Each structure stands twice: as C-alpha cells, then as structure tokens.
Copies of this chain bind each other. A is one copy, B any other.
Amino acid sequence: MERNSPRQEGGILLSHAHHLERIEETLKEQFSAHEPLVNEVTSHILCSGGKRIRPLLTVISGIMCGSEQEPLYRLSAVPEYLHAASLLHDDVVDEGQMRRGKLPAYKIWGNRAAILAGDYLYAKAIELAASFGIPAIASTIADTVAYMAEGEILQMQHATVVEYTVEMYTKVIFRKTAALLGASCKIGGLLGGEEKGADALWEYGTNLGMAFQIVDDLLDLTADEEELGKAIGTDVAEGKRTLPLLMAQDRADSGDAAWLTRLLERRRIPGPEELARLKELLEATGALADTKAKAVDYGEKAVEALAPLPDCEEKAFLADLVQFVITRRK
C-alpha cells in the first residue's frame, strides 16, 4: 500500500476546509440542544477526530446537483449522526476496546447510556431527515437505518462461522458500511432536486463504501498500531472472517488453514509472532494483493458511476476521494 504523506492526506480534505468548518459548526449547534448526558456521550463520539467524510459527501453531492448550501449543511449532520449511533451500539455489541484512540463510550458511561444515546442519535437523524419534507430523503434514511441493523445482525449470525463466504461478506459490508456512504451522497442529490443525479451518486457512494470497508479490513491486519489508534488484529480477536482472511483460508494448505481457524476461534488479540505469521500467509497466498485489487475494483466502479454527472470541481474531488480512501493508512 502506498504511503500518503501528511501533506497529501491533509490536502484532499483541506481543499474543502470551508465546508468542513461549517459542518463542525452545524454539528455543534445541533447537539448543544440535547440533554446534558446525551451531549457528553455524543460529543465523545462525535468529536473524536472523525474525518467527516459522510457529511462532506452530502455537501459535495448537493452542490453538484444544484442545492443551496445552507440547508445542505443541516442535512449533512444526518449521516454523521447515524454513523455515531452505529459506533455507540457496535462498541456495546462487539465489546470494542478502543475507538479513535479513546475508550469507547460504554466503558466510560456504561451500556445503558451508550445504548440510549445511540437510540437518541438514530432518532435525531431520522427526525432531521424527515424535517426537509422530501419523502425520498426520509425513505432513503429509513432504508439505510434498516440496512445498517440488518448488516450488524447478519454479521453477528454468520461472520464468525467457518461456512462464511465471500458472497456473505459482501452482503454484510454493503449493509453495514456502503449503504450509509451511498445514502450520504444520495440525500445531497435529492435535496438538489436531481433524482437521476442522486441515483448516480448512490452508485458512487456505495462503491466507495465497499472500497472503504475492504481497506478497513486490510488495515486491521496490516496498519501501524500507533497510526491506526487501535490494536491491530481486533477483527481476528472477534473471530470475524474479513475478506483477506477468507481468501487466505481458502488458499492456504491444510496446516495453515487449521492454524488460522484456531486463531479465529480463540478470541484474543494475536501476539507479534502470530501477526507476523499471519502477514506472511496473507502475502504468500496472494490474499493481500487480491484484497487490495478488490478495493481498487470497487473504486473504479465508483468513478465510473460519476459519468452521467457534469464535469466540475466537485466531481474531480469525488474521484480523488476514491484514491484517498484506497491509499489511506488509518
């Protein structure tokens, strides 16, 4: 994986620093009205260094489809709320240890507050989406919340069993991750009143989301721990069969395959020697390269989906973002 210099990484987001500032302001304005405890819990998750990719997608997509900017900033909080809500519940469900370099909310305030604050953020996102009075925005967000819950449930039921397949993995990550990125783009387009543009942006966003999640699953095995802000191998510790692990297991000889199964069933963070053997296995079987290639494929599909949209600065940014997502190191 290529290394992004800090300048490159900052570069792509800084090119839209004025949007990001307005997004931060809007998020702060909106959640300052909540109950004190909700504020505390939601601030913890909302203000912990997220990249704001989802709201930025809404804003950029909306501008491309002719929407005014002020209502777009308000709308852009919707996907960020949904994202934060899902992180709150995921951490309770997965017993996550670290999130963006901080303790997860449930470890500080307890399951009770994390579940309720998650419910509250889901509700506020839906309320905000419905407040625009555009049925297609409300139903896109409603569908997305359903996809996300379905993805979590499918993952819980299947992702830790030996019979898990690449097909099932694809279904899970589409629901868990890609649908929300697709919706982030689509609702911007819908606010601009461009139904066809909105559909193209949904295609873009879902493919970007697939690439994003596949890279995430790779980073869980290959990133620098300090740079990533959480332990390497947490998916392994949760017994989750992500794409690189599925490919490696499929292609390994019976000895290595059995070792990998034991590693996944043990439910512990792998030690340094195990991680080294795992990486070697991923390289030797070609699982690492082919997983990366799969992410690149989805990235290409994302860029192709933009074809019907007129050429403009925003479209160029969306294409650059694909590169950023694929080459990111954290």
A interface residue numbers (CB < 8 A to B): 35-38, 89, 92-93, 111-113, 115-117, 119-120, 122-124, 126-127, 129-131, 133-135, 138-139, 141-143, 145-146, 148-150, 152-154, 156-157
Asked if A150 and B120 sit within 8 Å, CB to CB, the answer is: yes
Return chain B residues, CB-CB under 8 Å to A120. Answer: 146, 149-150, 153
Return chain B residues, CB-CB under 8 Å to A129. Answer: 142
Asked if A126 and B145 sit within 8 Å, CB to CB, the answer is: yes
Given contacts A120-B153, A127-B146, 7 further A-B contacts (CB under 8 A): A93-B112, A119-B148, A123-B142, A123-B149, A126-B141, A129-B142, A130-B139
A116–B89 Cα gap in the complex (Å)? 8
Return chain B residues, CB-CB under 8 Å to A138. Answer: 130, 135, 138-139, 142
Q: A126-B142, A135-B135, A139-B131 are in contact. Are A149 and B111 (CB under 8 A)?
A: no
Residue from B35, B115, B131, B141 in contact with A157 in the complex, judged by beta carbons closer than 8 Å? B35
- Determine how close the nearest CB of chain B comes to the CB of A140; give it in whole angstroms: 9
- Determine how close the nearest CB of chain B comes to the CB of A229; give it in whole angstroms: 24
Residue from B93, B112, B154 in contact with A35 in the complex, judged by beta carbons closer than 8 Å? B154
Q: A111-B93, A115-B92 are in contact. Are A127 and B152 (CB under 8 A)?
A: no
Smallest CB-CB A-B distances: 8 pairs:
A123-B146, A120-B149, A123-B145, A127-B142, A130-B139, A119-B149, A130-B142, A138-B138
- Determine how close the nearest CB of chain B comes to the CB of A73; give it in whole angstroms: 20
- Determine how close the nearest CB of chain B comes to the CB of A164; give it in whole angstroms: 15
Return chain B residues, CB-CB under 8 Å to A139. Answer: 127, 130-131, 133, 138
- Determine how close the nearest CB of chain B comes to the CB of A320; give it in whole angstroms: 33
Asked if B135 and A37 sit within 8 Å, CB to CB, the answer is: no
Asked if B115 and A89 sit within 8 Å, CB to CB, the answer is: yes
Asked if B37 and A116 sit within 8 Å, CB to CB, the answer is: no
A129–B135 Cα gap in the complex (Å)? 10
21 residue pairs of the A-B complex, CB under 8 angstroms, read: A35-B150, A36-B157, A92-B115, A93-B112, A113-B153, A119-B122, A119-B152, A122-B122, A123-B145, A123-B146, A123-B149, A123-B150, A124-B146, A126-B126, A126-B142, A126-B145, A129-B142, A130-B142, A131-B142, A133-B135, A138-B138
Tell me which of A36, A138, A150 has the highest count of chain B C-beta atoms within 10 A of its own C-beta. Answer: A138
Tell me which of A113, A117, A123, A134 has the highest count of chain B C-beta atoms within 10 A of its own C-beta. Answer: A123
- Smallest Cβ-Cβ distance to A155: which chain B residue: B116
A116–B116 Cα gap in the complex (Å)? 13
Return chain B residues, CB-CB under 8 Å to A142. Answer: 123, 126-127, 129-131, 138
- Determine how close the nearest CB of chain B comes to the CB of A71; give it in whole angstroms: 15
- Smallest Cβ-Cβ distance to A144: which chain B residue: B123
Q: A122-B119, A124-B146 are in contact. Are A153 and B93 (CB under 8 A)?
A: no
Q: A120-B153, A146-B120 are in contact. Are A111 and B113 (CB under 8 A)?
A: no
A143–B120 Cα gap in the complex (Å)? 11
- Determine how close the nearest CB of chain B comes to the CB of A126; give it in whole angstroms: 4
- Determine how close the nearest CB of chain B comes to the CB of A46; give it in whole angstroms: 16
